[in-house]
Amino acid sequence: MPLHTGSCHCQNVRYEVDIDLTQPVIECNCSYCEPKGFLLSFVPAASFSAQGEENLTEYRFNTEKLQHLFCKTCGVQPFCRGEGKAGPTVAVNVRTIDGIELGNLTRLPFDGRSA
């Protein structure tokens, strides 16, 4: 799969991810994702690597299973970490991928509000 790079706004946190952007990205309407405007793509943690994670801090709510990470300096949330059915999973905030063309993405609505 193609290797993409991304970062938070101040670039203190950078990442590389094997991700197929021709696959639909998740647009969730839950109380957290909706105001943030997240477009998410879930990948196995093995397909993901980050530098500068010490610049991140976390926010947990609800079941507290997901680590919602954001940069202490610029507040951007490049990704979050969690435990998926198949093991450690990373939810990439696709908007933070370098050179992303949002108009080319296929969005898959997810009804997280009712979940």
State the residues that interact with Zn ion by CB under 5 A: 8, 10, 12, 71, 73-74
Nearer to Zn ion, 71 or 92 (CB): 71
Q: How far is CA 59 from CA 88, 89, 97, 100, 115, in A?
A: 18, 17, 21, 26, 20
Nearer to Zn ion, 75 or 109 (CB): 75
The DSSP secondary-structure symbol of 10 reads: S
Q: How far is the CB of 10 from Zn ion (least distance, A)?
A: 3
Element (H, E) at 35: helix 33-36
Nearer to Zn ion, 47 or 73 (CB): 73
